[in-house]
A = this chain, B = another copy of it.
């Protein structure tokens, strides 16, 4: 059976990265799709694990080759998801987790209509501002721009399947886990098992 693509999105400062790290270390049966970016590597990040860090020239040649499922410029840097990588893993039956910005998620939804789109929101707008201020690596000049972006992004929640309000990390991880487990049980994804054949019959009609 094909794997399921879980696309996690939300404004900067919602805590997506922390959730992804906890999900990947605590949960089994799901793989993280590493994105490409031209953004400078932060100190605690690892190339090939957090992102593939590339320069702008390399990134643009990948765009030309049609390599990206989605790509976007976010706060002056380019981010992209490798189409070949994601599709081949899904076809191998592996569930994939993607962490992309809201516009990227909505672009992916045009192609992967039946997959799962999760919006992660901070507990309040004040909390979002506080988190952006605390994040030392952010350029303070970008702050107002990020607030405006967050307002747009929060207006897009209705286009997602699930909303997680990130009040504490352990609850958020448990919620993501629940979504991953329950989506695999959806009858609409099990058509090959519950289709025209009797559920317990093999194709030659024998009881299983």
In the complex, what distance in Å separates the CA atom of A98 from the CA atom of B158? 29
**A121: chain B residues within 8 A (beta carbon):** 199
Q: Is the CB of A187 within 8 A of B154?
A: no
Copies in the complex: 2
**A179: chain B residues within 8 A (beta carbon):** 178, 182, 185
Closest to A121 in B: B199
Kindly identify, within residues 190 to 208 of chain A, every residue whose CB is under 8 Å from any CB belonging to chain B: 190-191, 193-195, 198-200, 207-208
Q: Is the CB of B199 within 8 A of A126?
A: no
Closest to A126 in B: B207
Chain A: residues with CB nearer than 8 A to chain B?
A: 119, 121, 124-126, 151, 154-155, 157-158, 160-164, 174-175, 177-179, 181-183, 185-187, 190-191, 193-195, 198-200, 207-208
